[in-house]
Each structure stands twice: as structure tokens, then as C-alpha cells.
Amino acid sequence: MFRSAESLFRPRSIAILGASESGGSGWPRAIFHNLEHAGFPAKVYLINPNRTELWGQRVYPGFAALPEPVDLALTIIPAEGIPEALTEGAAHGLKAALVFAARFGEGGDADGATRAAVLKRLAEDKGLRLCGPNCMGALSIHEKLLLYPAPRVRALPAGPVGVVFQSGGTFQYWLQQAAIRGLGFSYAVSSGNELDLDIADYVDFLVEDDKTRLIACMVEGIRRGEAFMRAAEKALARGKPIILVKIGRSEAGSRATQSHTGALAGDDAVFDAMCRRVGVTRCHSLDDMIETGLAFQAGRIPDGARVAMVGYSGGAKGLFLDYAAEAGLELARLAPETLARLRPMIDRGVKPDNPLDTGAGMAGRPQVFIDITTIIAADPGVDIVTMQGQLPATADERGSPEDFAPVARATTKPVLIFGRTAQNVGEHSRAFQAAAGMPFLQGLPETARALKALIDYGASRRHPPAPLPAPRGDRANLEAQRLDQLFAAHALTPPRSARADDADAAARAAAAIGFPVAVKIVSPAASHKTEIGGVALDLATPEAVVAAARAMAARLRAAHPGATIEGFLVQEMVQGVEMIVGVREDPQFGPFMLVGLGGIMVEVLKDVALHLLPVDVAAARAMIDALRGRALLGAFRGRAPADVEAAARAIAGLSTIFLDHRDWLSDLEVNPLIVLAAGRGVRAVDIRPVRRAG
């Protein structure tokens, strides 16, 4: 499933293909001097058929002339010459190549697609591992292999963060800014178009690497969804968080992604569900990924979700409450003993509470502020703490790391320090942060989101994803006469119903069921019945049933001349809250559940929740609670609350049915699922199974 990136990140020998003073706008020279600056941590050979000597070294005409096979080739030549050059390299023992050039099929370029096909064959037939094309290089910081065409990467510090960016232009800029804030790196790669090695391979390499403890990615599209999920699950099991920013959240962004690299962004809601399943943290922005990275780099993961905030600004407290609500944070309730200890320590007139505003005077009393924060961190009802603080920009500013460090030493819980806004950070600031032993995050909204990221990751670690069970259902269960029984056995009770061959038989069936009833036409031409007027509701008499059935048959024949009408379905009318519950297969990430409130809520407002299968009752409850219109299921304008527990059991039941029968089903939907009053259950009114072709 995974291809090794070993020769890319840890080569013992390197060939610079296209070595010249001016080739690639000076890129060969820049990379050579980066390697020279590091003391040539790998053997370096220069290849250029038009030169014999360069930078004091011999230049070879091609791979055949090299004194030994090389592990990695840096191909800094025009795209047209790369297929032939790498074919020669593969024939002489080349293991991997880093392809900087573009024009390998992006944007529908036919000639480029032909070149790409040659490289793919080399990868498949010869085992030549390829990074790129259309990438900006790779960095092995601990090994001092700086295969990037600019000297500024020499300043990047070694550390625990592995980085994979599918955007080459943003790659180095983000690394530089993240380093300024205090992140350190193990490996980093600009993966480009990923003709061979892709993000799943790179993540797998970083998970296996002992020096890497955190993985940061910028993603445009996932080419192998299952492989990425397996790599992410492995990272979760080993306690290596993955944080990422994804392009393509909007329709326009998705189109831009595809035109840039040919990568399909896919359905963003499904991608989001995949991330939640495998414990991947999605970051709001590149800035957020730096702040969240600092929070994770500190290495502490909370055991629960209860947050405490300590500050000395009433405005900061109010803003934090707003951002905490947006992020979905749970605020801790401080124990009476904690509150009693705090009262004599804070300013008069300030009520001890969480979030805690200690009063403005505390800004000048750092020891008391530390004592207060330490007391709150020790509260058994607190899982994670954030405290107000500011990094000094210069050594002249007052303050010491010891104004903060005692809190981290006094607890094993995560402690994040927040600033109210972003600030300039320099070398002194980074040293101060390192000595304090805690991350100083910039901005309250960023802090709230970082807190939520740590909390959600901790929950994912405690509750890793369950594997998909093997299908075990009988195909006969999908036949009409057994479908109702199958659904009823999984908490999806159908309404009382009967099939009728014609309008008169429908009236007799309605009388047997009891009025009022609903009537639906049954025809292969009416898969979406409401669109052709194939549903009539709340019919109270036999005459109304006959008239409705005949009218919908006439409408169907007018819309689809020659359509076959198999009859009518007569069902009891049920009153409750309409929901839509469906399962289908995503081509990248597998089966997923969609839950929404019916009618305008799903059609116009797109108020839906998604979750990859399997979905148990607890996950189903969480999906229902995530709906913006969740209040409609509660007591509303004198109406009794709906049976949410029965709805959750029904959603979990649909998950089981689909997984049992996914060999034969591609789509399974209940629309509507009527949720009755509390204690009365649900009714699966309209079941639509779509069988796989063949």
C-alpha cells in the first residue's frame, strides 16, 4: 500500500541533473551551495553533457558515466528532457528522483500527459520513486540535506515536525514563518503533482520516523483515500498528531485545485468526516496551523474536554467566551474548594469563576498570577488550561520565563499561553518561549481553536476508529417482501402499508390500514416521486384515494409516455419531525452516513451532518446534535419533544444494514424518516435502496 520515501529523504548519494550556473534560474547552484554549506552530507555528482567541470567538481555527461549508481537525482532540466534522462538513470541503478519541472499534464496538456505516462511506467516497472513533478524540493533537517533552491532554508531549526505541502509556492514561506514562531522540523517535502510518491506515502514515512512527533500538511487533493486513512490511523495509534489545511472547501477553490495539479479535491464534507474518523485536525488557516502546531509540539494531550481560562482583562474574558462558543469548547466548573482558595488572591469585587478575570492589577504581580493559575490547573474538574501572557520582543522588556514556567512544572495537563492579538516575534522571544516550556499562542480565536484541536485529538486517542466489519447480509433481504422486516429488525420501523395494483385496490387497502393515509405511485420511472407528483398525503376517504391514484398515474404517463406503472403503495399517515438519513459510498474514503432534517432544512439550508461508517448510537446522537436545526426535535410551540433516542438507534441501524449488504448496495436512503413524539419511536416512510450494477 505504501511506497518508500527513504531514498528521497535519506540518500547517501545525489546527482544534480542540469548542473549549471544559470539552469533553472540558478536552482542547481543554490542547491549545490546548500549541500556545500552543510559539509556535503551525501556524495554529490554533477551531470551536464555540455560541461566538464563546475564549482571545483567534475561534471559527468550522464548517469552511465557516473562511478557508481546514485540514490537520488535532482532533475533541474526542462520537462521535455526528463523522461529520457530518468529512463537512463533507472537503467543505471537510480533509486529516486526529485522532479522540479512542471508541464506533466496539468491543465489538460496532452504532451505533458505523455511525459507523465513515461514517468509512471518507470515508477511501476523499475521501482523508481518520484517526488513531483511541479514541486519545490525536499528537506531532511536533521541530516542537513537541504534540497531546496534557496539559502534561507539553512536557518530552519531541527525539531519534531514533519511537513508535507502539495503547494510548492507556499511551502517554504510557511516553514519560515513557523520557524520564527518556534516550530522545529524533521523532514519537509513539496510533493507537487504526486505522479508516484503521494501524501499517504510521505505521512507513512513520517509516522515510522523516530524523530517526527507531529505532521503538518497542506492538502489540495487526496489521490489514494484508503492509503491516506491507513497512514492516519497508524499515526493516531502511535500518538503522532496530523494537522492540515485543505484547499477546496468552496466550489471555486475545488476547481482551482484541479486546474493546478490535476488533483480532485473531492467532497469537502466527506473529507471533513474522514478527518474526524481518523483523528486528523483540520486547521482554519495557515496561521492557525502554526498556532495549533505549537500547541501540539508541546507534547501534552488532555484527558478530557473541560477548559479553564485565566486572564487579567475583562475584555479578553468576554472575547474568549465568544470564541470558545464558536469553537464548541466546554468550560470547566471549578470546585468549591478551588473557588475558596481563589477569593483572597484576586482583586476585590472580582468574582472567582471560569473564565477568570483576576483584575488588571494582576498584570504587575506575576508570582500571584502564577499561583492562581496553578491552583486552577490542579482542580480535578479541569483538563486543559489557557493563561494570559505576552512574549517580550526584545531583551530590554521586563519579564522572565519563570513568570510562567512554574505552572507547567506543577501539572501534567496541557497549558497554553494566549496573547490577545498577534505580535512580532524574534530570536529573544523564541528563547523566552522555550525556557518557559509552554507555547505562547497569538490571538484568542486561534487559541480557542487550538484548545479544541487538542481536546478532539485526545478523544480520538481514547476512542480510535472501529474497523469496517465484513459484509454478512443475505442478498435476499434486499427484495421488497423482506426489506420491511430487515428495517424493522434494525430500529427502522416502517409505517403500516400495503401494495395495490390499481386505484380501487388502493382505496380498499387504505380502509384496512385506517385513514388518513398516504399514497405513492410505484414505477421505475418515478424514483423521485415528489418531482412528478407521485405522492399524495393525508387522504381521508376511499374516494380521495381513488382520485389521487388516478391523477398521479396520468401525470406520470404525460411526463414519461409508455412508463410502466407497477401499482401504488398505501401507507398510514404519521405525524412527527421529518429527517433524511442516507448512506452512500464515497470513491475515496468509503461509505458515509448523511443525516439531516427534512424539507427546506436539507434542500435549501444544507443543514446536514456526515460521518464515515460505522455509525453507532453515540455517533448518531452526535450527528443529530450537530444539526443547526436540532431545536426542532425538542419541545417546540407546545409540541412534545421528538424521540431523539429512537432516531439515533435508527441511524445506527441503517449503518449496520448498509455495511452488512454493501457488496450489493451502492446507496441506501430513508427519506423521510419520521421521528414521533418521545417514547413512540420512528417510522421509515420511504426506503430507497440502490443496488450495485452487475
Give the model's pLDDT for residue 128: 98
Average pLDDT over residues 6-32: 92
State the Cα–Cα distance between residues 510 and 570, nearest whole angstrom: 6
CB 270 within 8 A of CB 592: yes
Question: Between 109 and 694, where is the model more confident?
Answer: 109
Q: Is the pLDDT of residue 260 over 50?
A: no
Question: For residue 139, what are the CA distances in angstroms to 100, 402, 584?
Answer: 14, 35, 40
State the Cα–Cα distance between residues 613 and 626, nearest whole angstrom: 17
Q: How many CB atoms lie within 10 A of CB 65?
A: 13
Given pLDDT bands bounded at 50, 70 and 90, which one contains residue 262?
Answer: very low
Closest to 100 in 3D by CA, of 72, 68, 70 = 72
Render pLDDT for 359-369 as a digit per residue (tens, 0 to 9): 877 877 889 99
CB 179 within 8 A of CB 127: no
Q: Is the pLDDT of residue 400 over 80?
A: yes
Give the model's pLDDT for residue 267: 86
Given pLDDT bands bounded at 50, 70 and 90, which one contains residue 264?
Answer: very low
Give the model's pLDDT for residue 525: 86
> If DSSP codes are grouped into helix, strand and coil, which group holds residue 70?
coil
In sign, the C-alpha dihedral spanning 546, 551, 552, 553 is positive
Given pLDDT bands bounded at 50, 70 and 90, which one contains residue 107?
Answer: confident
First-to-last C-alpha distance (Å) of the chain: 28
Instruction: Record the pTM.
Output: 0.90
Average pLDDT over residues 525-550: 90
Considering the chain, what percentage of its residues have pLDDT values greater than 90?
82
State the Cα–Cα distance between residues 601 and 119, nearest whole angstrom: 48
Give the model's pLDDT for residue 570: 95
Q: Which domains does the chain have, with CATH numbers?
A: 6-295 (3.40.50.261), 301-462 (3.40.50.261), 496-572 (3.30.1490.20), 577-691 (3.30.470.20)
State the Cα–Cα distance between residues 401 and 438, nearest whole angstrom: 10
Give the model's pLDDT for residue 515: 94
Give the model's pLDDT for residue 424: 84
Render pLDDT for 577-634 as a digit per residue (tens, 0 to 9): 999 999 999 999 999 999 999 876 676 678 899 999 999 999 999 999 999 999 999 9
Q: Is the pLDDT of residue 252 over 90?
A: no
What rounded mean pLDDT belongs to the chain? 93
DSSP string, 375-406: HHHH-TT-SEEEEE----SSTTS---GGGTHH
* Amino acid in the structure at residue 217: C
Q: Is the pLDDT of residue 482 over 90?
A: no
| All residues at 6 or more sequence positions from 687 whose CB lies less than 8 Å from its CB, including other chains | 483, 487, 492, 494, 668, 669, 670
Render pLDDT for 288-346 as a digit per residue (tens, 0 to 9): 999 999 999 999 999 999 999 999 999 999 999 999 999 999 999 999 999 999 999 98
Give the model's pLDDT for residue 379: 98
| Helix locations, 220-329, DSSP H | 225-237, 251-261, 268-278, 286-297, 314-327
Give the model's pLDDT for residue 259: 37
Give the model's pLDDT for residue 250: 59
Give the model's pLDDT for residue 694: 63
Q: Is the pLDDT of residue 263 over 50?
A: no
